Structure 1
Amino acid sequence: MSLLAPELSSSRTNPLPAADALNDVLRAASPAQVIATALEAVGRERLALVSSFGTESAALLKVMADVDPSIPVIFLDTGWLFEETLAYRDTLIKALGLSDVRSIKPLQQTLSREDPDRELWFSDPDACCRIRKVEPLARALKPFDAWINGRKRFQGGARAEIPVVEDDGARLKFNPFANVSREEVEAIFKVGKLPPHPLVASGYLSVGCMPCSSRSAAGEDARAGRWRGRTKTECGIHTAKTS
């Protein structure tokens, strides 16, 4: 049964539901219910899931695949990813039967102009994220009216109070794992018999680009290894408008 209230039902000929209204409907919904409602409200051809294929990504991808494995998945291949992450992407595509994974790369002319020596990650990590993640994602999302991501409140920082549905300034943004706990994520891995990211065994609890990811010590927050030693905590794709 649909979770959409009658006044929220939408088609491509009508305006999209308001984010606040959808959030009210979905604030206590399961991740699967959130994804199913997003699919109903927007339509498969206008909905995308954005995944880093990182250490916790398989849980969200598993839930999505159980709802509809043909929902487009956008993967940002920044040029600085671990080989293990690229291999993990291919493993999960096969294991979950994902049929529309789109690997998006930064524009070569932009890299040649702004990062010819591949040292921008050190001198200006925000600029590096902008040309390798933020701008490619904005380009990839242009055909879509809504997107799904895997942020969780338990990750803390700017993520501690994220809603289940929000308006990112250009389209609807669904956060189906906003309410889940770390234990629930682990349960999805266990029940679904999902393979772990290869770098987890080496102490990487959160994996992004190679130069800006490090192992986490015992007792550290999972994202402590990202941009270690800097005040930076987000790459920018969740703080910048995607228009």
Structure 2
Amino acid sequence: MSVASEILTALRSEEHDPVRLLRSASNLLGDEIAVMSSFGAESALLLAFVAEAAPDMRVLFLETGKHFPETLAYRSELARFLGLTNVQDIKPYLAQVKDRDPTGELWAFDPDACCQLRKVEPLDAATLSFPVLVTGRKRGQASTRAALPVVEEKPDGQVRLNPLASWSADEITDEMKRRGLPPHPLVSKGYPSIGCAPCTRPVGENQDARSGRWAGLSKTECGIHTAS
């Protein structure tokens, strides 16, 4: 799975320009790269860069079965708006859901297990063959991401590209407006970070953007970005 050093060098040379980074990655890696997108509050900008660089790049959306209806509608609307031609829904295994979460309430008493079932396991299976994955994570989203690099090498050899790592929320908002990108409908209702409906709450002014995720719990990540 390790990415050749010359490819890593080429990618790092483009890390200050998201579109050039994504275009280079697509040219160098072809089908061996995929984008992970939640189609959440700030997803439109990264996906606009993807559409500009390589509109046929594979985009993976985790359809957990617990999303807000607004997110599912936005996923379809944004893909059409940007002209993305290769968006794929990744779903949890039906048999595993029936066995481990038959009532659909696992999130209420064991959110880690719910994320493992509905996010980590299906995404691990879907991305296992990709040496490079693209994410929309930013350093300013939470303290756990403060040192996030643009080109990130994982312990298992997989590389994650975080083209927006250094972008602030204001910069992203300004660029989305400049490009005329449609916002997620829940942003105007106080959701600066949007996950599954049962585990996401609006946040107050000056709060951490991700403080509405698993509110009241020590949990800050679902696990898809923390596993090796």
Q: TM-score range by the shorter chain?
A: over 0.9
Return the match for 1:157 from 143, 168, 175. 143
CA distance, structure 2, for counterparts of residue 228 and residue 63 of structure 1: 31
Letter of the structure 1 residue corresponding to residue 132 of structure 2: A
Q: Which residue of 2 aligns with 1:34?
A: 21
Say if 1:161 and 1:97 are closer, same or farther in 2 by CA, change over 3 A.
same
Q: CA deviation at 1:187?
A: 2.1
Q: CA deviation at 1:173?
A: 0.9
**Aligned with 2:210: secondary structure?**
helix
Return the match for 1:235 from 208, 216, 222. 222
Q: Could you tell which deviates more after superposition, 167-176 or 101-110?
A: 167-176
Q: How many residues align?
A: 227
**Aligned with 1:135: secondary structure?**
helix
Return the match for 1:85 from 71, 96, 105. 71
CA distance, structure 1, for counterparts of residue 12 and residue 129 of structure 2: 26
> Which gives a bigger RCO, structure 1 or 2 (Cα 8 Å, sep 6+)?
2
Q: Could you tell which deviates more after superposition, 164-173 or 79-88?
A: 164-173
Q: Which residue of 2 aligns with 1:9?
A: none
Letter of the structure 1 residue corresponding to residue 226 of structure 2: T
Letter of the structure 1 residue corresponding to residue 5 of structure 2: P
Q: Which residue of 1 aligns with 2:131?
A: 145
Letter of the structure 2 residue corresponding to residue 47 of structure 1: I
Deviations 1:12-61 (A, max 9, x none): xx96337874575345x121122122223322x11100000000000100
Q: Which residue of 2 aligns with 1:59?
A: 45
Q: Which residue of 1 aligns with 2:209?
A: 222
CA distance, structure 1, for counterparts of residue 111 and residue 194 of structure 2: 16
Letter of the structure 1 residue corresponding to residue 97 of structure 2: L
Q: Which residue of 2 aligns with 1:196?
A: 183
Deviations 1:108-165 (A, max 9, x none): 1111111111121111111110110011111111332211000001112211101111
CA distance, structure 1, for counterparts of residue 67 and residue 46 of structure 2: 20
Q: CA deviation at 1:84?
A: 0.2
Q: CA deviation at 1:77?
A: 0.2
Say if 1:59 and 1:21 are closer, same or farther in 2 by CA, change over 3 A.
same
| Structure-2-length-normalised TM-score | 0.93
Q: Which residue of 1 aligns with 2:4?
A: 16
Cα pair 2:7 2:28 within 8 Å, conserved: no
**Aligned with 1:184: secondary structure?**
helix
Q: Which residue of 2 aligns with 1:25?
A: 13
Letter of the structure 1 residue corresponding to residue 198 of structure 2: P
CA distance, structure 1, for counterparts of residue 169 and residue 62 of structure 2: 24
Cα pair 2:107 2:198 within 8 Å, conserved: yes
Q: CA deviation at 1:205?
A: 1.2
Cα pair 1:154 1:182 within 8 Å, conserved: yes
**Aligned with 1:235: secondary structure?**
coil
Q: Which residue of 2 aligns with 1:206?
A: 193
Over the aligned positions, Cα root-mean-square deviation in angstroms equals 2.0
Cα pair 2:3 2:159 within 8 Å, conserved: no
Runs of 5+ unmatched residues, structure 1: 1-13
Letter of the structure 1 residue corresponding to residue 67 of structure 2: L
| Structure-1-length-normalised TM-score | 0.88
Q: Which residue of 1 aligns with 2:108?
A: 122
